[in-house]
Structures are given as structure tokens and as C-alpha cells.
Structure 1
Amino acid sequence: MDKKNFRAFIVSEIAQGVFQSRVGIRGIESLPAGDVLIRVRYSSLNYKDALSARGHKGVTKRYPHTPGIDAAGEVVCSGDNRFAEGTRVIVTGFDLGMNTSGGFGEYIRVPSQWVVKLPDGMAVRESMVYGTAGMTAGLSLMKLERNGLTPNSGDILVTGASGGVGCMAVALLAKRGYRVIAATGKPEQSGFLHSIGAIEVIDRKELEQMPVRAMLRERWAGVIDSVGGRILEAAIRATKREGSVTCCGL
């Protein structure tokens, strides 16, 4: 591509409620106003990206649109002296990929407040291996520990464990020395979950079928939940006294 045009994944509304996606050419001048123009090297795939790509107006209000709520690459030009040309950066969250053209294009232009320098020692690709899912799992663990949780507190339940946030949470918790119980609706993923640190893998049906009582037998000291609904309800009722529960997701 030349310096005026770039490739992007573009979702268009071709008729009312009918959406079509393709890889096409966009002009850099079509990008929204912003302080920092970034050449995107890597992105990641999130549930919110799938919703945007399918035309979910609760996520993206205007089409045509380029999804991608994560992006990592290097600065091309910047109006903020914190980010010189060539600086390796990450953008995640805010409005990126929702109503602001996102990381599924070769370039993005965003406000400088959205931009974070890539940590020393981390490769650009590695940052997007973690992406929003890894950041969410990390924030959940941080909240648990700020509330006093330690590996000596007891087992930790992770729901939705075979999903993006869930498997990141399992790996992070195990790395920190916690005993992790992984709940999943995909029993075929048990081997994978054990390989990244889960001590025990349970079927999510076990949570869904728990008795409907105000309190259940105490089973875990903490929970990282990304599912919600009846599973979160059951997880809370089986949490130890003075335990902690975090929940995340749409």
C-alpha cells in the first residue's frame, strides 16, 4: 500500500439490518481526528469485535466500520511529544473498534490519551497475545489481591475457563501460586486447562444445577467470573466467608 491508502477489514450495512464484511482499501484521510497516527502490526479478536462485525448497534452505531478493540504497532506521526515517530505503542479499550476505526486496519488514528508505550522487554506481537482478555484477567486478579486474597486463602474458581479471559485468568493465577478450579462448558478442553495450571476442571453444569439456597457449602476463597447469570449466582453462594468475587464481560 502507498502512504495514502491502507488495507482494512470493513463492515458495511448494505440494506437495513443486512451487513456485509470484506477486506478493502481505505484512505488515511478517512480515519477520525486524533493526535496520534499508528501503523498497526497486530490486533486480537474479542467478543465485542464479533458483535461489531455482525452489525450490533449496541456496540457500533455507524457503518461502514472497521472493528478491532485492540491494536499494537508504532507511531507514524504524533502531536504529543510523549510519542515520537517509531515509538512502539498499544491502544486498547476506550472507543477503539466500537465507533472509532479499529485495529483490523493497517492504520488507526486516536487521541493521545488512549495510547500507552509498549513495556520494555515485551514484543509487539506478545502484547496482542494478551490483549483485552489478558488485561481483564490481570485486573480481576489485582482486585482480588487488593481485597486480601493470597494463595493461602484457598482455591480460586474461574468460570468460562476455556474462553479468552478465562484461560488467561487460569494461567495468571497458577503462575502466582494459586490452586485453580476451572469451570467450562467444553469438557474436551480439560487437557488444555490442566496444561496451563488448573488443578481441577469441572463442568459448568455442576454450577448451573447447584441447589437454590441462600448459602451452599463453602468451596472456594475467590472467583473470577466472565459468564454471569446462574453460574455467577451459584459461584457467589459457594464462596467462603470473607472471600472475594470479580465479574467481567458485557
Structure 2
Amino acid sequence: MTPSITPPSDLRARYLLRIADTCLIHAQRLAEWCGHGPILEEDMALTNMALDLVGQARALLTHIGQAAPVKLDEDQLAFLREERDYLNMTLAELPGRKGGRDFADTTLRNLMLGQWLLLVWQRLQASSDAEVAAIAAKAVKEARYHVEHAAGWVVRLGDGTEESARRMQQALDRLWLYTPELFDADEADAQASATGLGPARDTLRTDWQAALGAVLAEAQLALPKDSAFRSTGSRGVHSEHLGYMLAEMQHLQRAYPGGKW
């Protein structure tokens, strides 16, 4: 079994890993819908969005690995870290097809994370790191489509039948608890903002709430009340779901290191 690597832990790397890991884990959850979509077109759309997110994660992981004290490639960073070394938003790791969750959860999460990533990529286009700015310039086009696609489904189902509206509201109530983490800025955000690397998370809140609120209003969905609960995946402290996902996701690389097709 291949041993785990030690990823870079400086503030710059932590800032970029949060974005890369959120894309990577979100992609993994979307890929679970392959062959299970409600209609054939949506089955393909979710899979293609997962591929977009994998591409974004790959680009950032490669960049992070090249700048690390000990050079690492994208596969090592994607597949050979311990659970606590993943810094994705908890929202990305929640199941989309299990534990009482369904397509409503997936469409709402796509909107929530898609809008957050869109704002991140838009601002990263002006990053002081030229490579990050170039990655963002490509990713922003993909993220814009992801938001449009998700918003269409949220409105269609939220303002649809009594059953679809009920499921969408229940999904919103479940997921809303995890959204404050998207704006929970820390020392990595402070350094990124000070050096021009990228925006601090707390600066995204107003624009995110405005964009999301407009879609939810059109969908006739009521915003849940705020809660004192705070998720902590972006600090490496995850829900019970990520470990199971990583066991499946890392299996081939752990069992057959450097394997070639």
C-alpha cells in the first residue's frame, strides 16, 4: 500500500488547496450521478460538470505541487493525502444520493458552490500569481455555465409541483447549515488578500447572498434561519462522509502506485 505524502502547509498552499480540494471533492460527488441521472441529458450534464471541476482541480494541484519544497504531482496531491490534509468546504463532501438526500440536494449544492466558485474565479483573474490568473480565466467560463444550469433546475423544481417544491425546500434546509463556512476567513485568507494572491472569503458573502437570493426568490423557496453550527472541512476537520469517499477514491492509486492504463 502506498504511504501518504506530506503536502505543503504554508498559508499560500493552504489557500489554493481549499479551492482545488473543493473542486475535486465536488467533482467526485457529481460523478456519482453518472448512470443515475433523472433524464439522459442531465446524466451527461452532471458528468461533464464533474470533468470541468476535475480540470480546475488538476490545474491548481499541479501549480501547488511545483511550488512545494519537495516537488509533488497532481496525482500525489489528489490521491495520497490523509483525510485531515484535504481542505475542501464541507458542503462539497456531503452525499448527494444517500442518507435521505436526492436530486434536489445536488441541484442546490451545484448552485451554492457554483456561485461561490464563480466569484472566486472572477477575482482570481486579477491574482498577483500569473499562473493562478490564467487558470481562473479559463475556469470562470465553466463556472458561469454551472451556475446558469443549476439555477434553471432550482427554479424549475422549486416553482414546480407540490412534491418538487417540498423536496427543494427540505434540501435547502439541510444544506444551509453548511454555507457559513464559505465565508469563514482566516490567516490564509488574510495573507492572500495582502499579497494580491486572491480574495478573502468573507469579501464574497454579499455578492453570493444577492445572487443566490434572487434565484431562491424566483423558485419560491424560503431562506432558512441562521444557525450557530459551523462546519470545518476547510480546516481539515471533516464530516463523517469524507473518509468513506476517500477510501473509494484513493484505492487504485494506493494499491497500484504509478499505475498506467
Q: Which has more helix, going by share of residues?
A: 2
Q: Which has more strand, going by share of residues?
A: 1
Q: Give the TM-score normalised by the residue count of structure 2.
A: 0.25
Where relative contact order (Cα < 8 A, 6+ residues apart) is larger, the structure is 2
